[in-house]
Amino acid sequence: MNVEERQTMPKWLLPHVLGLDVAFAAFVWGCVCAAFRYTNVLGSGAMLLLAVAAWVCVMVVRIVRSVKAADSRYAAFYRGHLSWLVPLVLCATLAALWMLFFYVGRGLLSYAPYVLLLLFWGIVFRGGLLRSACRSLAFAVACYAPAFYYEFTTGPMLLFFSPQVWNVAGLFLLFNAHRTSAHTEHAKLISLASLVWLMWLLISIYNAQPGASGFYCFMVLILACIHFISWQVRKWGRDVSDALDWPLMALAAVVGGLVFAPDVF
């Protein structure tokens, strides 16, 4: 890291710049999503595979973006460390493939095309909303894929008929929208959408069958976390926001999972 990078990027930002926060959040959310499907996947290695796959996807996008756009955030760091970042990403990709075929189960590969296709659309689409929607749905599908795979009675397409998947995708769409549009001309529209979403969640809690309201209570907690990130963490500066966004989403998932889905860990 050169002198300019040391001045512009604090060391405590490295976990975010290296994508470790996204990998950790994917691991936690995968566990919580499986718990709400009443599926135990902790001993299967699927969560480790999910974390590694999420890290590979994030790093590939960031490295490619840094090469194409020299003015992108932290581009200088990625370009300056390609000599070890690229081999590390390749090794992680090979490790993920090994886990998929020889440890977790190659049947999980049937879910991969849907995630990759959504990620591809998230790159191709130029509109910010469509791009965020594809990435959010890809994250939700990836988090639920291990649970659906180990249920043995469901298939990949049934993911897209699950209300839980669309709820998680919708909340992460709000999360991404807040990260890119908070305190701008779109802030009021995002806040209105969040208010409508909160009202719908409260109605769902009221109408839910006994024992089925935990997931919607969990969603309310995550929605509150998103607003805390948007309206409070943003005030602490861009660097702090980048460093805390994904860890706070992971922390909220841990707390909500332990409270509303006690068998999560």
pLDDT-based confidence at residue 5 (cuts at 50, 70, 90): very low
Does residue 46 fall inside a structural domain? yes
The gap from C-alpha 128 to its chain's centroid, in whole angstroms, comes to 17
Share of the chain above pLDDT 70, in %: 88
Which of 16-30, 32-46, 91-105, 188-202 is modeled with the greatest confidence? Answer: 16-30
What pLDDT sits at residue 187? 62
Q: Does 152 score more than 50 pLDDT?
A: yes
Domains of the chain: total: 1
Does residue 165 fall inside a structural domain? yes
Q: What is the pTM (predicted TM-score) of this model? A: 0.89
pLDDT, average across residues 11-30: 92
Does residue 181 fall inside a structural domain? yes
Does residue 251 fall inside a structural domain? yes
Q: Does 124 score more than 60 pLDDT?
A: yes
> What is the residue range of 111's domain?
3-260
Does residue 265 fall inside a structural domain? no
Q: Does 119 score more than 90 pLDDT?
A: no
* Average pLDDT value over all residues in the chain: 84
Q: Distance between CA 116 and CA 126 in Å, rounded?
A: 17
What pLDDT sits at residue 4? 43
Q: Does 195 score more than 80 pLDDT?
A: yes
Does residue 222 fall inside a structural domain? yes
Does residue 100 fall inside a structural domain? yes
What pLDDT sits at residue 183? 47
pLDDT-based confidence at residue 243 (cuts at 50, 70, 90): confident
Q: Out of 3-17, 57-71, 98-112, 242-256, which region has the weakest mean confidence (pLDDT)?
A: 3-17
What pLDDT sits at residue 181? 60
DSSP-assigned letters across all residues of 69-120: -TTSTTHHHHHHTHHHHHHHHHHHHHHHHHHIIIII-GGGGGGHHHHHHHHH
Which of 32, 108, 50, 16 is closest to 260 using CA atoms?
A: 32
What pLDDT sits at residue 6? 44
pLDDT-based confidence at residue 139 (cuts at 50, 70, 90): very high
The three-state (H, E, C) secondary structure of the chain, written as one string:
CCHHHHHHCCHHHHHHHCCHHHHHHHHHHHHHHHHHCCCCCHHHCHHHHHHHHHHHHHHHHHHHHHHHCCCCCCHHHHHHCHHHHHHHHHHHHHHHHHHHHHHHCHHHHHHHHHHHHHHHHHHHCCCHHHHHHHHHHHHHHHHHHHHHHHHCCCCHHHHHHCHHHHHHHHHHHHHHHHHHHCCCCCHHHHHHHHHHHHHHHHHHHHHCCCCCCHHHHHHHHHHHHHHHHHHCHHHHCHHHHHHHHHHHHHHHHHHHHHHHCCCCC
Q: Does 215 score more than 80 pLDDT?
A: yes
Q: Distance between CA 244 and CA 259 in Å, rounded?
A: 22
Does residue 97 fall inside a structural domain? yes
